[in-house]
Structure formats: C-alpha cells, structure tokens
Amino acid sequence: MTVLNPVIVPNPVVVLVRPQLGENIGKAARAMLNFGLTEMRLVTPRDGWPNPQAGPAASGADVVLEQARVFDSVADAVADCAHVYATTVRKRGVTKPVMTPEAAARAIHAGPERSAILFGPERSGLETDDVALARTILTVPINPEFGSLNLAQAVILVAYEWSKGRDLASPPLTDIDPPAPHEELEGMIGQLDTLLETTGFFFPPDRTPATKRTLRTLLTKPGWSSQEVRTLRGVLSALGGAKRPR
C-alpha cells in the first residue's frame, strides 16, 4: 500500500503596493501575525524602508517587519507566485474572475503553488496596471453606501478567512468556578430575607410571598459560584450592621 505524503501549501504572501504610512505597515503586520501570516513584501513604500513608525504600530509583530522585503515593482514582488489576487473593486476595462476572501482562501489552501495577495495604497487603492498583473480580483462584500476599509482592516479580513483553513490555537480558556451548592444559596437568600424584614421592605404583607418568590428567582438564575455567594453575603452583613474584625 502506497502512502502519499500530504501536499504542503506555502502560506500566501501579503504584498503592500506603494504603502504611504509606516504606521499602516505596522498595523498590517499586526493583522497578519494574528492569523499566522509572516511574509510581507513592500513595493516602493512612499517613506522608504525601514520606517520607524512601523514598529510601535505592529505591537510586537516584529518578526513580520524584520523579514519584510522591498521591491521596485509589483511584477518583481510576485515573480515567484503562481496565483496573484488583487484586493480591489472591479476595474473598468479589466475582465478577471472575482472572488470573496472566503472563496480565495479555499483556492489558496487547494495549492500547492505559492499565492500573493495585493493591497493598494491607502488613499487610491491599486491602479489598473497593478490589477492587470493579478489573475483574480478579490473583493469584500461591503456596504455600497460606505465602502471605507483602511489597509489593516482589509488585511485582517483576508487573513482571517485564510486562517480558518488552518489549525490555529484558540485563545486560552479561563477556568470558571463551579456553581455553589443549593445549601449555600439558601443561606444567602435567608440572610437577605432577614435583612429586608428588619428594614420593612416587605410591604404590604399580602405581597410578601410573591416578592420573596421574585427575589429567589432572581438570585438562583445566574448560577452563583461559592466565592460569589460569600462575597454577596459579606455585602449583606455589612449592610446589616456587622463590622469586620480588625
């Protein structure tokens, strides 16, 4: 029986074409690393490279910035990529397949060739000549009355869709205390009833059972932990006049 080795699909390359602000490059790097992308390529960044504004904006995504490569043209930046996606709206005079980020992510994972995703300058986006180098237009479904994504937002949308095909670790879970035993809840409710009776809260008398029932329903809804019960009972004790030992 022949066992086939799984095909290893290289991660897509993020190409920022003529980015204007170092801060936006850093934010894009942060968006990339959140979803496991590390290879950034820059095409003639306006303020040169490296840019001192990029580091602080990257918020720790230094590995992306340190490995970023600069190219003189889009053609050079994608020369080793078989599939090139241009993130833009449809360009007049350019007839190419159009995909959503989700569909593009599935195509990239199908591999095995390297893919590149082009993102244009902050103000104007990709030019027609840039899009002409791509095989596919990648467009995000967006409110037609307000289509205003910044560079990092566009990167994070595409990176997130790609990451769904990867086995990325979920954020660490926080342990939750188990619910308190019913006996502890009864003690808390009894303490509250006593405190309210001494203050004359239950009035008129014929409404007392219904009011107590409402309070019991309220206090048994959340699934209090033992620590939460102890805390609230401490509050009730303080309201009832009990003083803490010093």
For residue range 69-113, list pLDDT tens digits in order. 999 999 999 999 999 999 987 555 667 899 999 999 999 998 789
Beta-bridge partner residues of 117: 14, 85
Element (H, E) at 175: none
% of the chain at pLDDT higher than 70:
89
Quick one: pLDDT band at residue 213, thresholds 50, 70, 90? confident
% of the chain at pLDDT higher than 90:
50
Regarding pTM above 0.85, the answer is: no
The closest of 174, 175, 188 to 237, measured between CA atoms, is: 188
Structural domain spans, the chain: 13-163, 182-239
DSSP assignments along 36-67, one per residue: T---EEEES-TT-SS-TTHHHHHTT-HHHHHH
Q: What is the mean pLDDT of residues 17-45?
A: 96
Question: pLDDT averaged over the chain?
Answer: 86
**Collapsing DSSP states into helix, strand and coil, what is residue 69?**
strand
For residue range 181-206, list pLDDT tens digits in order. 888 888 888 888 888 888 888 888 88
Report the CATH superfamily, name and number, of domain 13-163: SPOUT methyltransferase, trefoil knot domain (3.40.1280.10)
